[in-house]
Each structure stands twice: as structure tokens, then as C-alpha cells.
Amino acid sequence: MKNFLIIALIVIAAYFAMVYTAPDKSATKSPAGNEKTTLTTTEEVTKTTDTNKGKTSKDDSTNIFFGDYNTPYGIPPFDKIKDSDFMPAIKWGIKNHLAEIDQITANKEPATFANTIEALEWSGADLTKVTSVFFNLTSANTNATLRKLQAEIGPMLSSHFDDINLNQKLFERVKTVYEHKNQLNLRVDQQKLLEDSYKSFIRGGANLTAEDKQTLRTLNKTISKLSIKFDDNLRAETNDYELVIDKKEDLAGLPEDIITAAAETAKKRGHEDKWVFTTHRISKTPFLTYSTNRDLKRKLFYAYTHRGDNGNAHDNNQVAAEIVSLRNKKAHLLGYKSHADYVLEERNAKSPENVFKLLNKVWKPTIARAKQEVADIQAMIDSEGGNFTVEASDWRYYSEKIRKARYDFDEAETRPYFSLDATLEGVFYTANRLFGLTFKERHDLPKYHEDVRTFEVYDNGKLIGIYLTDHFVRPAKRGGAWMNSYRKQSRKDGKNVLPIVVNVLNFPKPVGDEPALLTFDQASTLFHEFGHALHGLLSDGIYRSQTGTSVPRDYVEFPSQVMEYWFSQPEVLKHFARHYKTGEVIPDSLLKKINKASKFNQGFSTGEYMAAAYLDMAWYAQPDEAILDAHSFEKQAMDKIGLIPQIYPRYRTTYFRHIFAGGYSAGYYSYLWTDVLAADAFEAFKEKGIFDAETAAKFKKYIFSSGGTDDSMTLYRKFRGKDPEIGPLLRSRGLIDSK
């Protein structure tokens, strides 16, 4: 069963960068510990000249970052950090980092693994110390000052890491070690560190001629500017549109809380006594789901699906096409066939062909299911005497109606069983049964907001890390749900550094004495994010760039997606899902309903996700350097897969932020890729019991503790004893019949 899984997956897809920490590669290649790396790759951020580089503020003594924290476990002393500390501290970190790099290159000794590769790996610790706090806070608890700083610090860091990547002397030393790799008798993780270091220099352009290096810098700069433009256009288009309703009858079908929210939106936008709906997901989705007014739904749907595609000053067609063209130029410069070839070389998928192979396998049953769903909707329209053909803007309304009629499943029925506290107990219970973990809350440690809770995490009695939670929505937090690290686990000179990880979510804050009650999806998301947190907490490696979630993008969602399977198990649900008032365990009748409804509407939700994944690959797997016509390109790509008119790709070109202004170019397929692993991995537990000790021990060792210390598919096979298969995924989504 697992529609929840899919729902959550799609939700997650929507939040992309927010949902998980970026694999932070290496401190030398990206702003380490910085989730922002998912948004813009280091080499593509506009460079600016920073004349103050290296200078520190006059009043150094009060800057908290310059000394030791002197807090329990080295938790950042949030109460003592001032916004004005960041800029001088980051300059200080950059200066120290460059000094460390200079030390490596000035070494008169021949290059060795220790004096070059390891030295490079451990360099930049001061900078990481500051950036990890900075980027965590700019996501979870920002303000105008931090936002302004962010715009300055992003390019500064990118410029800094570019300088390291294109440092010829440094590269020569790395290359020397690399060329002797077979004589060095290195451990597996060391071999990988060496390979990854070397490759990242090559992929960053270290082997190019001086002239080509310059071309590359220019390309990066232009791509970065265009990405920012794409984002600005999209933000403007999303914010500008409003559907103003002034007649009460046009609100027919909408739930009361949605109407109230629309009235508030109207007020804020200066429309007294009216209602406003926007193209923000939180506004447009309920309207499309509940409104009975087809014309208005069509209008709002059109606005949503034409963001950046209105032929005005904010049109993104040309911008997107230009980004693709420039990325292909860059790929060609570096010796790759296309941008996708360049990107995928570093992923488990390895090549565009392998991505298409997976997509094609899932697409056939998906589109067949979608066509069946269209027929079901049409039948309902006809039975109501509707006398029209179902359109894309009708889908949500009718699928919701069918769901209710068929499964009698209402979210209001489940929420009382999923209080936040109970659900949190559920994730802790799962971690305990699987991995022997226990969680002890501390109330005396520094926090950046009163909503933050702090837990010591013990593995069979031994302290292994610190877990922070920050569950409630507030304006200073960006949307979505994610995990990040304040400090990653590492072990330098045998000294183990405990990880400090955080889960940030956006659940509605309860009022009065009522507890926070979660929807089924929200509860599932809590398990998902907790999976990322476990990946960070159970980490057991040496090098910071390899521990925790520092794994390929088409692997990083695996530990989180797989946790959703435990969430949906009756054995787990019956342990924690208790009515917040009566304490009654969730009844079997409700579990049955949930289970039955779980595979409903999968043709649509998997279909719209996959159409976007195809669109991403269509753009980036083709090698053209010319600027293509985005309209006809998209149409051709969608015609090629036989997309039906009732389904639009989840993101059309002009608002596909992930792939034009985020870090997901040639990567949107990743969610499906990791879900194959998640479904296949859970199959191992289904065979032997969901808490089978032997399976769980392997799971812990090879999946949750190993991070990026070895090739991720090698680790997967060590856990599973075989390659993953796609059958479990198709069955879990109900796309083929269950065994």
C-alpha cells in the first residue's frame, strides 16, 4: 500500500531543494554544509569581485564565530549570534581557507595522499562552521538583514570555490597523487576521496587551456545570470496574477476555511469584501479541487499553467532555451555529448539512456492507468448529465468526488489519530525497533527559535548525535520540509565529531490547548524527513565530504522514501496512531479505508510527475547549441510520450524552476529512481518481517551509516544481496497487480 508514499513523493518533488540537504560534495568544491548548493551549482553563480576579501571586522572579540562555542556538544550558541557577525566571519573563514590551500601548494615535499588530498579535505573548517549556521538560518529563520546578506554571500562563496577549483598548482598536486593511486594502498573510502577530488577538478575545467577556462567562466556567469532571471520572472508571474471573485455564488463548493483564506488574501491585496485566488499551490489546488464553477477553474488553471508563458516582459521561453543552449556549450567544452551526459556521469543513472529506460518502463502502465481514470471521470460527468468532455482543469474536482464515492475516505476522520506528538513518538519507535536508537529531550540547550526541540540520540546507550526539530510554519521560514546539518559527522585523527542535524517542517501551529493534528500526508512527511535525519545521525565515516547525506542526488532520497513504508504499516500505525482525546488506537475499519484509497488516482499523480521528468530529459539530453523554440520543443516532447490532454506535466518549461533555476537539471527523474530502491529495499523486510534484526543490521550498516564512503549501488547490493528490481515499485503504486 502506499499511495501516501506517492503523494508525499510528489509533494517532495514540489519542494525539491527544501526537502533534503544537498550532497555537499566536498568542502573544497561547494559551500560545505550549505543546502543552497542545490539551488545553484557553485560554478554557475555569478562571480563578483570582493575587494574586502580577507578583512575582518574591527571588533573581533565579540564575534562569536572567531572562538570556540563553549556550549554542550558544540551546538551553535544561537542566543549569542548577531546578524552582523556573519559577513566578517565568512570573510575570516575564506581567508583561513585560502591560507590552508596556500600551505598545501607551497609544500616542498612531493604530493602525497595525506599532504594533499586529506589536507584539502580538512581545509575550510572555519568557513564551514559559519556557513552551516548561516544557510540553516536563512532557510529556517530569516529576516531582511539575512536576506540581503545572502545575496552578497552567495556570489562571494561561489567565487571563492571557483578560485580553488581552478587553482593550477593545487590541481597539479592532486593529479600527481591520482596518477600514483595504484601504489598507495588506500582504503575504499580513501580511494573514493581521491577519485572524487580529481574528477571534480577535471569537471570544473582544470584540464582546459587558458582560453577555454576563460570561456567556461563566462559561460558559468551567463548561465547564472539567466537562472536568476528565470527565477525573477517566475516569481513576478506567480505573484502578479489574481483571480478576483466578487459574487458569493462563485464560491460554490469551496470549504469554509478556504473561503476565509481567500477573503484574507483579498484584503491583503486591497480588494475589500471580495475573494482572491492566486497561482500559489496553496490557493489554486483547493480551488480546482472543490469549486463547482468550471469556467473559473479553467481560468485559474490556465493562469497557473502559463506562468512565464504570456509573451510579456516576464516570459521565460527564450530564457529557458538559452540556458539549455549554454549548458550544452559548456558540456561540449568539457568533452560531453550533452548537459545530461555531463550531469549523469556523476549519478547512479550514469547515462541518459539509463534514465529513459527506467522512465519508459514505468510510463506504459502509468499512462494506461491514467486513461482508465479519464474514462472513470467521463462516466461520472455523463451520469450527472454533464454533456461535456473532461478537461485538465476538471481533473482534481472529479477525482476527489470519485474518491469520496468509492472509498468513503475523509481526511478529517484520520487527523485526530495523528497528533504531532504521537507521530513523533511513531518515528522514534520505528528508529528504536530498527536500529536500537533512543531519544532524550534536553530543554537547556541554545536554540534559534522557541519552537525548536532538541534531542540527544543514543545508539544502544551510546551518544551518537544531536537531533533538532522545528515543526511549525512561520513567516521567517521558507516553505516545504527539509533536513540539514549544523555539523556533519567526521573523524579526524581518530576523534569522532558528533553530527547535529535538524528537521524543519511547516505544520500549522496549534492554537490554545489543542495539539497539532497532522493530515495523513503530513505524518508521512514527518517519517520522510526523519529518514534524512537518520542518514545524518547514524553516519559513521572519516571524511566530512563523504558522511551522512553526501551521496548522489539520485540516491539521497532513498533513505527518506523508504521510511515512509514503515509509516504505512499497520504494526507501526497501531503503536502510535491514537486518538488525541480518547487514546483509542486507530480502528481497523479506518486503516482498511486508507489502504484501499491508497492506489487511487495514481495514473494522474505519477503521470504528471513523469511527464515533467521526461520534459527535463528531453531538454538536456539533446545536444543542440542553437536556441530552440521552447513552445514547439515542449509540444514535441510531450507528443512523443503520448501525454493525454487531460494531464499537463507537473512543471511546464516556463515554470520548471528545478531545472532552470534549481539544481535539478537532468535530475528530476531522481525521485522515481530512488523510489525503485525504496520499494525494493522494503521488500527485503516484507519477506522477513518489518523489524527483522538481521536485515535491519545490514540496512543500518550499508545504507544509513555508510553515507558516500563507497559507490552507492555497491552499498545497496551489499545490503540487498542483489540489484534492485522495479516490480515492487509498480505494485506499490498499483500500476501492476499485486502479487
The residues binding Zn ion (CB under 5 A) are 19-20, 557, 560
Closest to Zn ion by CB, 525 vs 654, is 525
Q: Which is nearer to Zn ion, 558 or 685 (CB)?
A: 558
Count Cβ atoms below 10 Å from residue 582 Cβ, excluding itself. Answer: 8
3-state secondary structure at position 453: strand
Q: First and final CA of the chain: distance in angstroms?
A: 12
Q: Residue 309 or residue 564: which is nearer to Zn ion going by CB? A: 564
Distance of closest approach, residue 529 Cβ to Zn ion, in angstroms = 7
Q: Which amino acid is at 477?
A: K
C-alpha cell of 212?
577555454
Q: Residue 514: CA atoms inside 13 Å, Cβ hemisphere, count?
A: 11
CA 59/CA 150 separation, integer angstroms: 22
- Burial category of 647 from C-beta neighbours within 10 Å (exposed 0-12, middle 13-18, buried 19 and up): buried
In whole angstroms, how close is the CB of 8 to Zn ion at the nearest point?
9
DSSP code at position 377: H
Our CB check for Zn ion shows the closer of 127 and 534 to be 534
Which residue has cell 572562538?
67
Q: Which is nearer to Zn ion, 33 or 155 (CB)?
A: 33
Per DSSP, which regions of 143-293 are E strands? 243-245, 275-277
CB of 717 to Zn ion, least distance (A): 23
3-state secondary structure 508-560: CCCCCCCCCECCHHHHHHHHHHHHHHHHHHCCCCCCHHHCCCCCCHHHHCHHH
Report the nearest approach of Zn ion to the CB of residue 532 (Å): 6
Asked if 352 and 338 count as a contact pair (C-beta separation under 8 A), the reply is yes
Q: Is 212 helix (H, G, I), strand (E, B) or coil?
A: helix
Q: What CA–CA distance (Å, rounded) separates 577 from 566?
A: 13
Cβ neighbour number for residue 251 with a 10 Å cutoff = 21
Instruction: State which residue, 317 or 560, has the beta carbon closest to Zn ion.
Output: 560
* Closer residue to Zn ion in complex, CB, 322/675: 675
> CB 25 → Zn ion: shortest distance, Å?
18
Specify the residue, 19 or 344, whose C-beta has the smaller distance to Zn ion. Answer: 19
Contact 243, 276 (CB under 8 A): yes
CB of 260 to Zn ion, least distance (A): 31
529 in catalytic set: yes
- Nearest approach in angstroms of CB 473 to Zn ion is 18
Amino acid at 290: Y
Task: Assess contact for 672 and 608: CB atoms under 8 A.
Answer: no
Q: What grid cell was written down for 104? A: 598545501
SS3 track for 4-71: HHHHHHHHHHHHHHHCCCCCCCCCCCCCCCCHHHHCCCHHHCCCCCCCCCCCCCCCHHHCHHHCCCCC
Q: For residues 131 and 31, is the Cβ–Cβ distance under 8 A? A: yes
The whole-angstrom separation of Cα 308 and Cα 233 is 7
Distance CA 455, CA 466 (A): 6
Which residues make Cβ contacts (< 8 Å) with residue 84, sequence separation at least 6? 57
Closer to Zn ion by Cβ: residue 557 or 634 = 557
Q: How far is the CB of 414 from Zn ion (least distance, A)?
A: 22
**Consecutive H or E run containing 258:** helix 256-268
Q: Give least dist CB 10 to Zn ion, A.
A: 12
Q: Which is nearer to Zn ion, 20 or 230 (CB)?
A: 20
- Least CB distance to Zn ion at residue 483 (A): 7
CA-closest candidate to residue 501, choices 470, 524, 526, 522 = 470
SS3 669: coil
Which of 118, 529, 564, 634 is flagged as catalytic?
A: 529
**Minimum CB separation from Zn ion for residue 33, in Å?**
17
Residue from 241, 256, 252 nearest 301 by CA: 241
Nearer Cβ to Zn ion (98/563): 563
Q: Cα–Cα distance between 572 and 430 in angstroms, integer?
A: 7
Q: How far is residue 137's CA from residue 126's CA, in Å, rounded to a whole number?
A: 17
Of the candidates 278, 323, 41, 234, the one whose C-alpha atom is nearest the C-alpha of residue 657 is 234
Single-letter amino acid code for the residue at 260: T
Hey, which residues are catalytic here?
529
